[in-house]
Amino acid sequence: MLETLRRLVQEVNQARNLDHALSIIVHSVKAIMDVAVCSVYLRDNSNAFILMATDGLQEKAVGKVRLQEGEGLVSLVASRAEPINLRSALAHRNYHYFPETGEESYHAFLGVPIIHHRKVVGVLVVQDRDAQSFNEESETFLITVAAQLAGAIAHVEIGNDVAGQNETEPATLDSRSITGLPGAAGVAMGVARVVYPLADIAAVPDRQITDIAAELEKFEKALAAVRQELRIMSQRLEDKLPSQEHALFDAYLLMLESDSITDGIRSAIEKGNWAAGALRKVIQEHEQVFQEMEDSYMRERGDDVRDLGRRILMHLQQDAPADTDFSENTILVSEEVTPSMLADMPMDRIIGVVSVRGSRTSHVAILARALGLPTVMGAEDLPVRHIDGREVIVDGYSGRVYLSPSKTVRREYRELLNQEQELSEELQGLKGLPAETLDGEKIHLYVNTGLLADMTPTQESGAEGIGLYRTEFPFMIRQRFPGEDEQRNIYRQVLESFAPDPVVLRTLDVGGDKALPYFPIEEENPFLGWRGIRITLDHPEIFLVQIRAMLRASVGLNNLNILLPMISDVAELTDSLGLIHQAYGELLEDGENIEMPRIGVMIEVPSAVYQAGSLARRVDYLSIGTNDLTQYLLAVDRNNARVAALYDSLHPAVIRAMMQVVESARVYDKPVSVCGEMAGDPAAAILLVGMGIESLSMSVASLPRIKWVIRNLSRERATEILSVVLIMEDVHSIRAYLHEQLEQAGLGGLVRVGK
């Protein structure tokens, strides 16, 4: 049964369009369950359910039968969001008869809701002639099918819209939008460019081309190259392989000669798809035919087809010119945008980013914020394969992506961009002014960074220094650990660019979602595993080299602050301090003239909250890393789009934890700063000022907004707001209340622009 389901889902995922997908569903489910009727109803914009496909009812009813909200058994299934299993539907008070369906002859009825992202998007129904209930096995099977298909249907439905098959102008702003998660603030209107891992044939997107002859030529060239390659391989292995195994090469060559494959690809190219997209389509169709075969030997031939496809793809990619064809307003789209993928792009052409996986605190989102690129993460329903070259709007405030947007949507976003422009011009005027509350309280604003390339905007931002330099980024873009001198040079540039202002260099925090290509860590649960200080304490040689490089970089500048990530108990801190003092002592012995830097601890693990006092008294300052603190306190993975709605640093538990840290540090007279993303959230900034936190570190793009909030608020008012928030019990009321406060302080622009 599992295998049948798997195949069904796979087929639906590969369907040409929504009609095709639904037709696969109704025919397969009817056959598997051996019932008289299987139908799918989908909800439209007005909440009515439309019969979209059937096997068993009259075909002519498709598209015509429409059940208004509250009408018929289908609506009942939807409103209850649970299955309804009836011996005789005809006898039920909600039964609604449509003569065109011919369903009067079917008594038994089983309807299950199709639920996607908590919303009932449709109902899957099976019916049978006799009056008898469906058994439990049938019920659980249909529930499983519906649960598995919900995502696939949503996918194909959106892909359909994007491919322009639904010509009508959408009725609401939403109708061609995908909801993901805000990754980096801002709006970008541009053209999607899908980037995919090389050699992954399933990930190749469709791409429209105009020069069909040139594309056909590329394909023929790749085909000839693969043929040649196979012949050489076959000759080389002729004496080494038994004849039966050797025949495999002949089979491959035969497949290459097969008109159904090569002509299929040619014809897809002739219809305007590029060779790689045409190849993916035809190879997948053939693979599927083999996979559906009962005979296991034949099923494995599907793997051969894929292998062949990969070989042709490799040649197509080798011949492709280096990507010089990025348009000037490219929106980078991928299943999983990684920091190195982003770093590889022509930065002057990228204006926005969309990633199917990941969330706001994924490191690629942090990088995008540093680069000022509006970004949407976790856009799970994005039909990646169908959107290359299409117009896209990225709304990094709300986390929405609009595909082939309508005129109305485009107009709305142009207006929003103008508003943004006005706001940022207004904010520009604040550059030289201090971040001081209305009652004269000075707040120090710093920026978070980790790239040398983003130093210039950072210096021009009016920041008072760097509050968090994530040293792992220079480690991530190399092929090996950088050496002491290499690191010293990088850190020196950073320290020099801001001297005499302070610069906080955080020691290496890899692990979790930050992998080094040359230092793989395989773990079941990486965020609770070998990460940050745990790795560097286990590898003092890595830690000591980094500390020495930092200390040497600070000679004569003396603006270095060291920050230790992921500290979860006092022993880790004392061990780290021991190593720092060891490195310092060695350098002094070597005759270097170095001052001892200020040392701080990140508070980002719940245990550190409860030991904040013990940690504070051993160091010079604390810095709260709200990204991890939120993830660990709420048990919500910061990278998982499915639970992202639960991830919010304004959660009462996070606010209380932060209060506790501030109070514990106050006992030892040690300053506390915030360097997680929360510091760049205008609503949250009110609370942080209210708590008495005097320094905030954020992405360069957030800085002017936060300064605006600080300059328009008194510290006294912020404290009052905090005391109201402290008696609130849920995050939604807190956010709503803070937005109201921003509006009242005349800062509604921040909320409106970021609607």
Using CB under 6 A as the binding rule, the residues of this chain from 470 to 509 that contact ligand PEP are 470, 509
Catalytic residue among 363, 386, 444, 651: 363
CA 280 to CA 717: how far, in whole Å?
60
Rg over CA atoms, the chain: 30
Stretch that binds ligand PEP, among 100-108, 168-176, 285-293, 622-630 (CB under 6 A): 622-630
Q: Are 201 and 403 in contact (CB under 8 A)?
A: no
Question: Positive or negative CA dihedral for 150, 23, 10, 283?
Answer: negative
Select from 78, 17, 10 the least CA-distant residue to 44.
Answer: 78
648 lies in the binding site for ligand PEP (CB under 6 A): no
Instruction: Please report how close the Cβ of residue 607 comes to ligand PEP at its closest, in angstroms.
Output: 15
User: The tokens 């598997």 sit on which residue?
Assistant: 32
Write each residue from 64 to 103 as x if it is in contact with ligand PEP (CB under 6 A), else as -, in one continuous string. ----------------------------------------
Distance separating alpha carbons of residues 13 and 24, to the nearest angstrom: 10
Q: Count residues contacting ligand PEP (CB under 6 A)? A: 11
Q: How far is the CB of 396 from ligand PEP (least distance, A)?
A: 18
- Nearest-angstrom CA–CA distance, 429 and 21: 55
Phi, psi of 531 (to 5 degrees): -150, 150
First vs last Cα of the chain: how many Å apart?
46
Binding mask 592-611 for ligand PEP (x = CB under 6 A): ------------x-------
Nearest approach, Cβ of residue 506 and ligand PEP (Å): 8
- Using CB under 6 A as the binding rule, whether residue 339 contacts ligand PEP is answered as no
C-beta closer to Mg ion: residue 487 or 630: 630
- Return the residues of window 557-616 that contact Mg ion according to CB under 5 A: 604
- Give the separation between CA 247 and CA 722, rounded to whole angstroms: 76
Beta carbon of residue 675, minimum distance to ligand PEP (angstroms, whole number): 5
Q: Does 512 bind Mg ion (CB under 5 A)?
A: no
Cβ partners under 8 Å of residue 674, min gap 6: 623, 624, 626, 658, 688, 693, 695, 696, 697
Residues 616-655 that bind Mg ion (CB under 5 A): 625, 628
DSSP string, 355-386: ESS--TTSHHHHHHHHTT--EEE--TT--GGG
Q: How many residues bind Mg ion (CB under 5 A)?
A: 3
Choice between 28 and 626, CB closer to ligand PEP: 626
Which of residues 287 and 604 has its CB atom nearest to Mg ion in the complex?
604
Sheet holding 181-184, edge to edge: 177-179, 400-403, 391-395, 187-194, 330-334, 350-355, 375-377, 181-184
Contact partner, 626, from ligand PEP, Mg ion, none, Cβ < 5-8 Å per class: ligand PEP
Indicate which single residue of 505, 675, 686, 725 sits in contact with ligand PEP (rule: CB under 6 A): 675
Nearer CB in complex with ligand PEP: 510/560: 510
| Nearer residue to ligand PEP within complex by CB, 15 or 675 | 675
In the bound complex, what is the minimum distance in angstroms from residue 483's beta carbon to Mg ion? 26
Provide the residue count of the chain. 755
Residue 652, Cβ neighbours under 10 Å: how many? 16
| Residue 675: active-site member | yes
Residue 625 within binding range of ligand PEP, rule CB under 6 A: yes
Binds 464, which of ligand PEP, Mg ion, none (CB < 5 to 8 A, cut-off by type)? Answer: none
Give the other-Cβ count within 10 Å of 234's Cβ: 17
Shortest distance, position 673 Cβ to Mg ion, whole Å: 14
User: Could you please report the per-residue DSSP string of 276-326?
Assistant: HHHHHHHHHHHHHHHHT-SSHHHHHHHHHHHHHHHHHHHHHHHHSPPS---
Residue 628 beta carbon to Mg ion: minimum distance, rounded to whole angstroms: 4
Site membership for ligand PEP, residue 676 (CB under 6 A):
yes
Q: Catalytic: which of 116, 444, 675, 739? A: 675
Query: In this structure, how many other beta carbons lie within 10 angstroms of the beta carbon of residue 733?
Result: 13
Q: Which residues bind Mg ion (CB under 5 A)?
A: 604, 625, 628
Judged by the rule CB under 6 A, the positions of this chain that interact with ligand PEP are: 361, 468, 470, 509, 604, 625-628, 675-676
Active site residues: 363, 675
